[in-house]
Amino acid sequence: MAESLSRRGLFRACLPARQDAASSEPAAMVARVTDACIEPRGVACRRCGEACDSDAIRFRPMGGGRHATLIDPELCTGCGACSPVCPVSAITLVAAERLALVEGIAELGRTS
């Protein structure tokens, strides 16, 4: 039977993944767009999309010349090429496990 997630457990789950001393593989990283992105505000930038070799970044029209910047975590390799070209530092790299947790919590909030 799975334990329910306590507040402390949730906090620990949101911390960056630690590397085991025996494991030499780094945690899988995925790019994430923050609210600082200027595309949804009507400023055409798209530098991150041009820098992404894996075509993981898409721009969904929102109307009024605005676009939502979306990153497909399945296509994102976590290379980080999109992050340094962003003029407002709106792209960060996070552990793939953490991103899945945050998106799951957000989805739960929308359904309640």
Domain ranges in the chain? 27-111
Pair 69, 57: CB distance under 8 Å: yes
Within 10 angstroms of residue 88's Cβ, the number of other Cβ atoms is: 11
How far apart, in whole angstroms, are the C-alpha atoms of residue 54 and residue 103?
A: 22
Residue 70 has pLDDT above 60, yes or no: yes
| pLDDT tens track for 10-61 | 555 555 555 444 455 567 889 999 999 999 999 999 999 999 999 999 999 9
Domain 27-111 has CATH 3.30.70.20: yes
Q: What local confidence, expressed as pLDDT, does residue 8 receive?
A: 54
- Reported pTM: 0.65
